[in-house]
Structure 1
Amino acid sequence: MKYKVKVTVIDKKLYPELQEKYCADPNSGACPCYNVGDEFIFERDEENDHFWHGGLNTLVKTDADPDTVAGGPKMPHCSEAWDAIARYIYAGLQGGSIMKGWMKKENEMIACCSDGTRPVIFKIERMDMEG
């Protein structure tokens, strides 16, 4: 069995009151790296090893210019997001359970980056492939 991992941006939050109080730029706004609906596919096999390249070129769907999206052809995933999702991606690529007992499906996880004023929320899914 081969495995791929699909990551989807399912939401973005913005807390302007926290940005105003704590950020050097009080008008930083929402995360510029991701868009709700962005999708990424990770593979790790003889031909591809997206994991060890920080997810560069994993973007498969966006409504934005792909060159401006993390995980697109020009920039790897944001380090804050990567820190939050990489462990689940790696487990899924190895065929492991991503979050058994916590999520309804053991091959799925919901996680978010650690930016406290503008977090991005991701759905991570292990996809079981034939062959």
Structure 2
Amino acid sequence: MQKFSRLHIAWVYPDLQEQYCADPKAGPCPCYHAGDEFIFERDGERDDFWHMGLNTLAKTSGDPDTIAGGPKMPHCSEAWDAIARYIYTGLQGGSIMKGWMNQENVMITCCSDGTRPVIFKIERIDYTD
């Protein structure tokens, strides 16, 4: 029996920008909505990592066509730069942050936009086929 891993990723924190942005009313990150969830797969048929998470969106309150990770747009490059290493490790079945987080299959991380960060919870979910 072959073992596979899938990742569940959720956006868990809204914006923080009014004090520093040129447009203080720019609002939260336009690429994601609070509550967005993504499922990354890597098995014999699918490898979502190599497509920057295109079409991994599993749940949103917005229009899927305008959400990063939806069917028409891969993940934002700033977010992808921050989360890709954890996604790759998790999809290999590896420990995401053993010794750092209280569960080795979970990581809390964020994109590098300091004024409207999107904070992600990345969770490796092990299963067998």
Structure 2 length-normalised TM: 0.94
TM-aligned CA deviation for residue 26 of structure 1: 4.4
Question: Residues 38 and 57 of structure 2 are in contact (CA less than 8 Å); yes or no, is this contact kept in structure 1?
Answer: yes
Structure 1 match to 2:37: 39
CA RMSD of aligned residues (A): 1.0
Structure 2 match to 1:16: 18
Show CA shifts across 1:32-77 (max 9, x none): 1101110000011121111000100000001111011100001000
Alignment counterpart, residue 97 of structure 1, candidates 68, 85, 95 = 95
- Distance of 2:53 and 2:41 partners within structure 1: 9
Show CA shifts across 1:77-97 (max 9, x none): 000000000000000000000
Instruction: Point out the structure with the larger helix share.
Output: 1
The number of residues matched between the two structures is: 127
**3-state SS of 2:89 partner:** helix
Identity %: 68
**3-state SS of 1:42 partner:** strand
- Amino acid of the structure 2 residue aligned with 1:38: D
Q: Give every structure 1 segment of 4 or more consecutive aligned residues whose post-TM-superposition deviation is greater than 3 Å.
A: none
- Amino acid of the structure 1 residue aligned with 2:32: Y
Question: Residues 41 and 91 of structure 2 are in contact (CA less than 8 Å); yes or no, is this contact kept in structure 1?
Answer: yes
Structure 1 length-normalised TM: 0.93
- 2:104 is aligned with 1:106: yes
**3-state SS of 2:126 partner:** strand
- Distance of 1:13 and 1:122 partners within structure 2: 13
- Structure 1's unaligned 5+ residue stretches are none
